[in-house]
Amino acid sequence: MILQFFEKYFVMILTAAIGTLGYCLNINVKRNKIVYGCVGGVVSTFLYCVCAEMGLSPLMQNFIPAAVVTLYAEALARVVKAPATVFLIPSIIPLVPGGRLYYTMRAIVDGDADGAKVYAMETIVIALGIAVGIVVISLVFYHISHKNIQYKVRFDAMGNRDQAEKEK
């Protein structure tokens, strides 16, 4: 079973790793951080394949890998002390629906309205799955790490001054 799985998806995972490496070079990620991006790309592809094998819906197929990879990137950002984007963007790339976008366009060019509808729907669903996956996990981290941004300083300071004057 596991052997069969790897036989079926080995090429995908390998090429995802290479493609992620290429993307890292393309957006100029620092050399010593490229390997983290590649690991993220492999993880997301692997989870995508697992979800596809389990027969989950296209939304979940992309939601689960995106969420896991976001968790990975945000955790790594706190360990390695770099912006989470550096790890997140390369990791997500294998999930991006480039193929569906092409087929949508192709169907439109060929005048195949039904095909265009189906492919456009799939593109949007995949993009939505990735988006929700990223947002859900990032929100948690956002609320953990940005508790003490200063918005109320102004009125607090005025209040303190008034109090000090009263005490005088």
Partner 1 sequence: MKMDEEKSCEAPSRVMECALDMGETMLRCGAEILRVEDTVIRICTAYGGGIVDVFTILSLIILSWKADDGKNYTLTRRINPYPTDLKKLEELNALSRYICEKKPPCDEIQHRICAIMAPAKKRIYKSKMTGYVLLASAFTLFFGGSLRDGLAAGVVAVLMYLWDYLFSAHGRNRVVYSLAISIVAGILCILSVLAGIGQHIDMVMIGSIMLLIPGINLMNSLRDMMCGDIITGILRLAEALMMAVAIAAGFGIAIMMLGGLV
Alpha-carbon distance of 29 to 40, in angstroms, equals: 14
Applying CB under 8 A, among 1, 2, 153, 164 the residue interacting with partner 1 is 153
Alpha-carbon distance of 139 to 134, in angstroms, equals: 8
Alpha-carbon distance of 110 to 56, in angstroms, equals: 31
Q: What is the CA radius of gyration of the chain?
A: 22
- 96 is a contact residue toward partner 1 (CB under 8 A): yes
Q: How many CB atoms lie within 10 A of CB 11?
A: 9
Provide the minimum distance between the beta carbon of 68 and partner 1 in the complex, in angstroms, as a whole number.
Answer: 16
Alpha-carbon distance of 4 to 134, in angstroms, equals: 30
Q: Which is nearer to partner 1, 64 or 89 (CB)?
A: 89
Provide the minimum distance between the beta carbon of 92 and partner 1 in the complex, in angstroms, as a whole number.
Answer: 7
List binders of partner 1 among 42-81 (CB under 8 A).
Answer: 81
Applying CB under 8 A, among 29, 43, 68, 126 the residue interacting with partner 1 is 29
CB of 63 within 8 A of CB of 134? Answer: no
CB of 43 within 8 A of CB of 91? Answer: yes
Applying CB under 8 A, among 56, 59, 60, 105 the residue interacting with partner 1 is 105
Provide the minimum distance between the beta carbon of 2 and partner 1 in the complex, in angstroms, as a whole number.
Answer: 21
In single-letter form, the type of residue at position 134 comes to: I
Applying CB under 8 A, among 154, 164, 165, 168 the residue interacting with partner 1 is 154
The footprint of partner 1 (CB under 8 A) covers: 11-12, 15-19, 21-30, 33, 81-83, 85-86, 88-89, 92-94, 96, 98-99, 101-106, 108-109, 127, 131, 134-135, 138-139, 142, 146, 149-150, 153-154, 157
